[in-house]
Structure formats: structure tokens, C-alpha cells
């Protein structure tokens, strides 16, 4: 075998570096494919509560994932939302499935907090959309939220079955009226919301047999919403 020249070696190295950079870029833009893997330190078996939360979605229209800070609640909520929006359900998924495009809401305490948490989980950094749980190749377009720099109002996502899903980012400080008069397949509420907003949101899923779920740390104690999920009669 003839020894390679310096030029050939440099060309080979450049090709390898380019390939590795392409792989890194592909991974940055396809976070969904790497979440909850079969093996490794982040294998899904290490997150039994998350898996239980996902599984109960096949049986119940209303769910809550409650726990302490830094336990991955928002990530789990964003992961499920990304699956419904894209239709890219993994083989192991035993939770709720939608066969076609969906219309969704994701809501938190304020527009800025939604931008800094839920939006980042779903779409990635403000100047680099597509690096979150929704693959860049599936992100059709976004519209900006008025009055909140770098915040998304509505996004349209290509669904695996054809057509486009849509998600609107909302906030509790908009009041109950902002959660009226719409049908939604999926509603995700991150952090504890006022009871009237939860009640209004839960009405949006009825006609389409949708789902609503919350992810939050119950820092406010035994509120009406917490007692509702615990099966306690708040009027006793």
C-alpha cells in the first residue's frame, strides 16, 4: 500500500471533521430521537414516574405529574407534547396516541416564564429554534408573541401522517377568558394554575376526546386544584 501524501491525509481529516460536525448538528436538531433511550445513564428505566405518567395517558383524559424541583417534570411534559405534535411516537410508547395533526396549548404562569422554560424545551434557544424537542426539520413556521421579545405565540409543526399540527403558547396571567371558545386535542399546563383556568381548559378537550395534563411542584399546599387531583371533596 502506497503511503498517503500530506494532502491526502489533510483531505481525509477534513472529511472526518466535516462528518462529525454534521452528526453533531443533526443531533442538536433531533433531540426527540435521543430522549428516554433504551440504555445508558439516561435510560428511561431510571425514570419510572415519568413512564407511569406517560402510560396513564392511554387511560385518562386528565393527569398530573407532581414532584420536587429538578425532577424532570417540564422535560417530560415537553417530550409528550412533541410526540403528539409530530406523530413521531417511539416503539416503546404505551401512552396516548393521536393518528393525525393536533391543535394544542402550552401554558405557564407568565409569557416570559413560558418563553424561558416551556418554549426552550420545545423549540430550543430563541435564536436557534429547532434545537429543542421538536425536530428542526418538522418546524414549519412560528409567529411572534406581541410585547414579549423572542417569545413564540403559535407554531406549526409537520405531522408524520401529513398535514400540520399547531401549538399556541399561553399564560395564566391572561385570565380565564383567554382559555375559552376553542377545541384542543392537548393542553399542557406547567406550574399550578388557578382553578378557573384549569376548569376552562379541561372543557376544551371534551368534544375531540383530547387530554390535559399538568406538571408542577405543589408549593402552595392543599389548594383546590391539588385536592381535586387527590380525590378529596373540597366542599367537605
For 171-194, the pLDDT digits (tens) are 999 999 999 978 999 999 998 889
CB 67 within 8 A of CB 49: yes
Mean pLDDT of the residues in the chain: 89
Distance, CA of 184 to CA of 170 (rounded, Å)? 13
Would you list the domain boundaries of the chain?
35-229
pTM of model > 0.95: no
Confidence at 67, pLDDT banded by 50, 70, 90? confident
Pick the CATH number of 35-229 from 3.10.450.40, 3.40.50.300, 1.10.3720.10, 3.40.630.30: 3.40.50.300
Grid cell digits, residue 21 = 460536525
Residues assigned a catalytic role: 191
Count CA atoms closer than 13 A to 207's CA, side-chain side: 6
* pLDDT tens track for 220-231: 667 777 777 776
Of residues 45 and 27, more confidence is placed in 45
Confidence at 69, pLDDT banded by 50, 70, 90? confident
Check residue 132 and report its DSSP letter: S
Would you say residue 236 has pLDDT above 50? Answer: no
* Amino acid 46: pLDDT: 95
Amino acid at each position: 500500500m502506497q503511503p498517503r501524501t500530506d494532502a491526502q491525509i489533510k483531505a481525509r481529516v477534513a472529511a472526518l471533521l466535516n462528518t462529525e460536525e454534521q452528526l453533531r448538528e443533526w443531533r442538536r436538531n433531533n433531540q426527540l430521537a435521543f430522549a428516554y433511550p433504551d440504555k445508558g445513564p439516561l435510560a428511561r428505566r431510571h425514570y419510572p414516574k415519568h413512564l407511569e405518567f406517560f402510560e396513564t395517558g392511554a387511560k385518562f383524559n386528565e393527569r398530573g405529574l407532581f414532584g420536587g424541583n429538578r425532577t424532570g417534570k417540564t422535560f417530560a411534559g415537553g417530550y409528550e407534547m412533541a410526540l403528539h405534535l409530530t406523530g413521531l411516537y417511539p416503539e416503546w410508547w404505551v401512552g396516548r396516541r393521536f393518528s393525525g395533526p393536533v391543535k394544542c396549548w402550552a401554558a405557564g404562569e407568565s409569557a416570559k416564564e413560558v418563553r424561558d422554560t416551556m418554549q426552550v424545551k420545545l423549540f430550543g434557544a430563541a435564536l436557534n429554534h429547532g434545537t429543542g424537542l421538536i425536530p428542526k426539520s418538522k418546524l414549519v413556521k412560528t409567529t411572534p408573541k406581541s410585547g414579549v421579545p423572542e417569545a413564540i405565540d403559535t407554531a406549526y409543526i409537520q405531522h408524520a401522517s401529513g398535514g400540520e399540527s399547531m401549538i399556541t403558547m399561553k399564560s395564566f396571567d391572561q385570565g380565564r377568558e383567554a382559555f375559552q371558545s376553542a377545541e384542543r386535542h392537548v393542553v399542557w399546563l406547567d406550574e399550578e394554575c388557578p382553578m378557573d383556568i384549569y376548569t376552562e381548559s379541561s372543557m376544551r378537550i371534551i368534544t375531540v376526546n383530547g387530554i390535559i395534563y399538568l406538571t408542577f411542584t405543589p408549593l402552595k399546599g392543599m389548594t383546590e386544584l391539588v385536592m381535586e387531583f387527590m380525590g378529596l371533596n373540597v366542599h367537605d
